Structure 1
Amino acid sequence: MNKNLILVVEDDAPVRNLITTTLKTHDYRYLTAPSGETAIVEASSHNPDIMLLDLGLPDMDGIEVIKKVRTWSNMPIIVISARSEDTDKIDALDAGADDYLTKPFSVEELLARLRVTQRRLAMMQGEVQTESAIFQNGSLRIDYAAGCAYLDGEELHLTPIEYKLLSLLSKNVGKVLTHTFITQKIWGSSWDNDVASLRVFMATLRKKIEKQPNSPQYIQTHIGVGYRMLKVE
């Protein structure tokens, strides 16, 4: 039996049954929730490892579920939605989602996304256990062990992906990291959609750490190549 517990938030019974049957067949533990309110209750009471979330819920938009959960949990959230517009994907990612799967989807792709997320979870948990150093760069400070970042002594409210990006750049300060390298480290793949997501997350991260986002002090863009964290004197 897979040790990770997955919360399936889906109001469409046939789709929910497809997902849960797939999870059961591959020995995943799971919970289900047919509405946003139920999802929040289940997430807070059972502390699942991963959430699979539909956006079109009967009582509230899935984006609101993401925002509420993100006030107290960093669990990976994979959106599974029929909404395929880029703006919908960006809204979900901005709210704190980690991945976005568009309906109709294949069982194989769902399982692949779950495997990637599990690897990322295991890596993050391993880092928490082994990291103890404090990174300091100008007014930016990262406590790797606590999983927190600070600017001018104030804690930054980062999404899990934003924190992972900041940590990756800080551990390679002064080095240009390519789009492919970053997306492989963050998402375990380098699809075109992942590069688009990277640009979104980098923009939101910059808004939080750069006093002048148009004239960045910490993160430098190398157009068509990638990003680099600058060493601040």
Structure 2
Amino acid sequence: MIAEAAAVEVIRAAALDGVAHGFLGRRGGVSAGLHGGLNVGLGSDDDPAAIEENRRRATDAVLPGAALVTCYQIHSADCITVAEPLAERPHGDALVTDRPGIALGILTADCAPVLLADTSAGIVGAAHAGWKGAIGGVTDATIAAMEALGAQRERIVAAIGPCIARASYEVDDDFRRRFEADDPANERFFADARADHAQFDLEGYVAHRLARAGVRRIEALGLDTYADEPRFFSYRRATHRGEPSYGRQIAIIGLR
């Protein structure tokens, strides 16, 4: 039986004022146990009925009556242009649309959710930027797909939602060298940690990629999924605890 839950918490960005959007955490859902709260992850080991109810609540909290479209996320730079509600989840890590009534959703559990809009053109996008997608160019692909629909990148605004913060994201030297080989200037996104390890600033790196692509207004919310357990799900936190499963939160954007 699905339990009652408190109101869904919707975190909004000033940069996207006037656009139907929201970064959601775990507050306001009906899942229990390890997935307690607003778990929307179809791939999680959770009650499917609870997941479906959570996805409905999440959509209604941002764009009531809209059709939710999400990806089967694969940590790629692939972006899908959505022209109508989809029965199946396409493989990829970003979505764009110019059609009202479609809610684009990106799931995360430490990776960075990025929501984008060109309000003049009536075009929105959503990207799932884990480290693989970020360095692979998922935000660049999203901007290009928005441009193909008629957006202009100098008008695009972007917001980076809750993700794992540098203080919580320890990586090894091989990880660091991969980014520095791509661009030596990426060294600035790492802080020294224990021997042969560093702390990586995923949010800062994603903001850099957006700026480098020509996005002029970028808002980073600075919310750490790993550190704030009551508010957010975290894959890394669950892994460090040896937990067998974890929830996923969602970021949604759409046109009324």
- Confirm or deny a common fold (TM above 0.5): no
Higher RCO, 1 vs 2 (CA within 8 Å, ≥6 residues apart): 2
Tell me which protein shows more helix as a share of its residues. Answer: 1
Tell me which protein shows more strand as a share of its residues. Answer: 2
Q: What TM-score do the two structures reach when normalised by structure 1? A: 0.27
Q: What TM-score do the two structures reach when normalised by structure 2? A: 0.25
